[in-house]
């Protein structure tokens, strides 16, 4: 029998094993449970099993869930593509945004983050897969964007995020993650204090942790295969 609680335990064990293999402390990797398309009942099961941080891609779906689950002390992360007309809702309803890929979006989030809330925690999404992916800024543009976002009020720039193209070639995957890590190290050397590498999903969390991931975003391995038709 599989349950969300059992799946969560298995994912935590994978993270712990990958940390051992990488020679890193187990607490150095945070688990973000990606609950997009799953109902509030599924989120509640994960909460009962000790999970607190959840990732969502669709703004309205996430806001509806967060409202139903208000009072449980959950932390909501926006991880999907972000259009200008949705920035206000994101600025008002999330603790984190992982998918900032252009300055205009960051400026809108900064202007729209309510004064009564803690600064919005932000990652810059970088396209580490070239032509194979269209979301994220190009690696060559990341420095300019990172330096500009670091100066914006109401935002706290935490790090970088990437979604490498899916594939079986684990050496290629490692190379993509390594590129994100090199950028992270470069920006830290330039004086931009970053502490977050948001990389690794259900199929590649081990490769991501080997390359320094500090936060993995896991959906399928916790909740099961998503059905987008319903």
Ligand X SMILES: *Cc1c(COP(=O)(O)O)cnc(C)c1O
CA–centroid distance for 131 within its chain: 22
Decide: is 53 part of the binding site for ligand X (CB under 6 A).
Answer: no
Decide: is 29 part of the binding site for ligand X (CB under 6 A).
Answer: no
Q: How far is the CB of 203 from ligand X (least distance, A)?
A: 6
Could you give the CA distance from residue 120 to residue 36 in angstroms, rounded to a whole number? 20
φ/ψ of residue 196, rounded to 5: -130, 130
Nearest one of 13, 7, 14 to 219, comparing CA atoms: 7
Q: How far is the CB of 177 from ligand X (least distance, A)?
A: 14
Could you give the CA distance from residue 113 to residue 135 in angstroms, rounded to a whole number? 23
If the CB atoms of residues 105 and 163 are measured against ligand X, the closer one turns out to be: 163
Binding residue for ligand X, selected from 62, 74, 79, 150, defined by CB under 6 A: 79
Decide: is 163 part of the binding site for ligand X (CB under 6 A).
Answer: yes
**Of the ranges 69-77, 83-91, 185-193, 212-220, which one interacts with ligand X (CB under 6 A)?**
212-220
Rounded to whole angstroms, what are the CA distances from 41 to 65, 74, 150, 204? 10, 14, 38, 27
Decide: is 218 part of the binding site for ligand X (CB under 6 A).
Answer: yes
Q: Which residues bind ligand X (CB under 6 A)?
A: 34, 36, 57, 79-80, 163, 201-203, 217-221
């Amino acid at each position: 029998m599989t349950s969300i609680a059992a799946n969560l335990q298995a994912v935590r064990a994978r993270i712990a094993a990958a940390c051992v293999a990488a020679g890193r402390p187990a607490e150095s990797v945070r688990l973000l449970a990606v609950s997009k398309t799953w109902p509030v009942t599924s989120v509640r099961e994960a909460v009962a099993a000790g999970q607190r941080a959840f990732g969502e891609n669709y703004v309205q779906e996430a806001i509806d869930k967060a409202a139903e689950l208000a009072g449980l002390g959950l932390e909501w992360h926006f991880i999907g593509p972000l259009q200008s007309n949705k920035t206000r809702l994101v600025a008002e309803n999330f603790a984190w945004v992982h998918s900032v890929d252009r300055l205009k979006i960051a400026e809108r989030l900064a202007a729209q983050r309510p004064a009564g809330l803690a600064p919005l925690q932000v990652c810059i999404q970088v396209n580490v897969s070239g032509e194979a992916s269209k979301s994220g800024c190009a690696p060559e543009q990341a420095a300019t964007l990172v330096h500009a976002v670091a100066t914006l009020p109401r935002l706290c720039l935490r790090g970088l995020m990437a979604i490498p193209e899916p594939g079986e070639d684990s050496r290629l995957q490692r190379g993509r993650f390594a590129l994100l890590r090199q950028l992270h190290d470069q920006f830290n050397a330039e004086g931009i204090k970053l502490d977050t590498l948001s990389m690794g999903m259900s199929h590649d969390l081990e490769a991501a942790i080997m390359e320094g991931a500090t936060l993995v975003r896991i959906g399928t391995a916790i909740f099961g295969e998503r059905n987008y038709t319903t």
